[in-house]
Amino acid sequence: MKILLVEPAFPIPPKSKNHKNFLPIGLLKLHDYYKSKGLKTKLVRGNKSKSEIGTRFKPDQIMITSLFTYWSQYVWDSVKFYRDNYPTALITIGGIYASLMGDQPDFKRKLRKYNARVFFGIHKGAEKYANNHILDYSMLSNPSPIDYQIIHTTRGCPRNCEFCGTWKIEPKFESKRSIRDEIIKRKIVFYDNNLLKSQYIEDILNELITLKQEKKILWCESQSGFDGRVLEEKSYLGKMLKKAGFLYPRIAWDWGYVQFKEIKEQIDILCEGGYNFKDIYIFMLYNWDIPFDEMERKRIKCWEWGVQIADCRYRPLDQISDKYNPRKEQTNEDYHIHTEAGWTDALVKQFRKNVRRQNICVRHSFIFYSKDFERKRTKDEIMSALKHKKTKEAKIKYLKQINADYWIPDVITYPEQV
């Protein structure tokens, strides 16, 4: 029995292929699991011809993964490609998009068309195998070697946020007691949906702290944000995260401006733990139920606090395409614009732009943003004159006098103002 595992040709730039956010960890688990059962397995990325796969490797089964629903077309392109190349193989589609939409009429129609089947949720056998074995990352060493490893300490999430698909794909929340024996690399990336909710979070962090002290690990990162409500309940976790080597902690501010006191409390817990304000990110969902003006007020609060924003444009869970283009005027035909809450294409793009410019200011401790500065087009005499202006007001007055291109993050900025 031969199994081919396929990551579709997702639009991930080659330099980001092995980026810690895009590693096809599910396929890797399946690969090693089936191999351990004595089956012949191959993992490929993209649509590979028979000669690239090897003419002697004729798969009996092809397992194709999927990711965001709006990348659905890449999945079907792969299904078609491999069905054409291997007409008799059993084709199975799994992963996020398949789990969320595999029971929808259009999905089912395509399954019939390509004589394929769907797999929902997590593959228990592969998951169990991965919990007890070290995965062979060399399988994915192309285009660049992987010097980090992915760990799950939990599956699922006990919260049921309406915009999130996690609890639909992984309905059962499960926590591991220990991960120490799984650590084989010095850089650890956690793919947990809600790491802090683990019932063993203190044990896990203590293990990491020891490994860090023993110099067996260098740093950790959590792909998802930290649950701020857990931080509030257990403020000692702020220090533990820092000691365990977690970089760039992120917390979510999904709801209205009124939450700002809680969010500040959560930021303070991280700062008391040893983090700098500018290393902390606040996840913000925009183009969603919170209108533009309120999002801008939230953005300005982050500016006052000196923290960065990780902005995330809302797409409905059943959105199967997304042609967003930041350089073009677009409509709801191209991508989801949340008009229900007053969002327009211009407001969506403006908010993204404001966040980007503000983050640059936070990172570099600038009081204003300038495109000319960013592109290093500003004359030396202007830079020197600005340096000599001591206060923010004096600098801005000078910029106005010379009619410079600049933007200050302190105010709500609408599209027509730029």
Shortest distance in whole angstroms from residue 225 CB to ligand SF4: 7
Could you give the count of Cα atoms lying within 13 Å of 297 in the half-sphere of its Cβ?
10
Distance CA(386)–CA(394), nearest Å, equals: 9
Q: Please name the amino acid found at residue 130.
A: A
| Dihedral sign of CA atoms 220, 249, 225, 228 in order | positive
Shortest distance in whole angstroms from residue 252 CB to ligand SF4: 7
Shortest distance in whole angstroms from residue 153 CB to ligand SF4: 14
Shortest distance in whole angstroms from residue 76 CB to ligand SF4: 26
Shortest distance in whole angstroms from residue 167 CB to ligand SF4: 5
Residue closer to ligand SF4, measured from CB, 72 or 194: 194
Residue closer to ligand SF4, measured from CB, 60 or 221: 221
Distance CA(365)–CA(359), nearest Å, equals: 10
Residue closer to ligand SF4, measured from CB, 168 or 185: 168
DSSP 256: -
**Which of 272, 259, 190, 188 has its CA nearest to residue 228?**
259
Residue closer to ligand SF4, measured from CB, 90 or 317: 317
- Which residues have C-beta within 8 Å of that of residue 82, sequence separation ≥ 6? 4, 6, 47, 62, 64, 89, 91
List contacts with ligand SF4 (CB under 6 A). Answer: 157, 159-161, 164, 166-167, 193-194
Q: Say if CB 270 and CB 238 are below 8 A apart.
A: yes
Distance of CA 69 to the CA centre of its chain: 14
CA–CA–CA angle 116, 117, 122 (5° rounding): 140
Distance CA(52)–CA(27), nearest Å, equals: 19
Residue closer to ligand SF4, measured from CB, 135 or 204: 204
Residue closer to ligand SF4, measured from CB, 97 or 303: 97
| Phi then psi dihedrals of residue 221, to 5 deg | -145, 145
**Which of 363, 324, 374 has its CA nearest to residue 71?**
324
Residue closer to ligand SF4, measured from CB, 8 or 156: 156
DSSP 215: T
Q: Say if CB 182 and CB 213 are below 8 A apart.
A: no
Shortest distance in whole angstroms from residue 279 CB to ligand SF4: 21
Residue closer to ligand SF4, measured from CB, 32 or 254: 254
Could you give the count of Cα atoms lying within 13 Å of 220 in the half-sphere of its Cβ?
30
Residue closer to ligand SF4, measured from CB, 262 or 334: 262
3-class secondary structure, 216: coil
Q: Say if CB 337 and CB 344 are below 8 A apart.
A: yes
Which position has the token pair 């895009």? Answer: 22
**Which of 264, 290, 296, 330 has its CA nearest to residue 414?**
296
Shortest distance in whole angstroms from residue 255 CB to ligand SF4: 11
Shortest distance in whole angstroms from residue 165 CB to ligand SF4: 8
Residue closer to ligand SF4, measured from CB, 5 or 169: 169
Shortest distance in whole angstroms from residue 21 CB to ligand SF4: 15
Shortest distance in whole angstroms from residue 71 CB to ligand SF4: 19
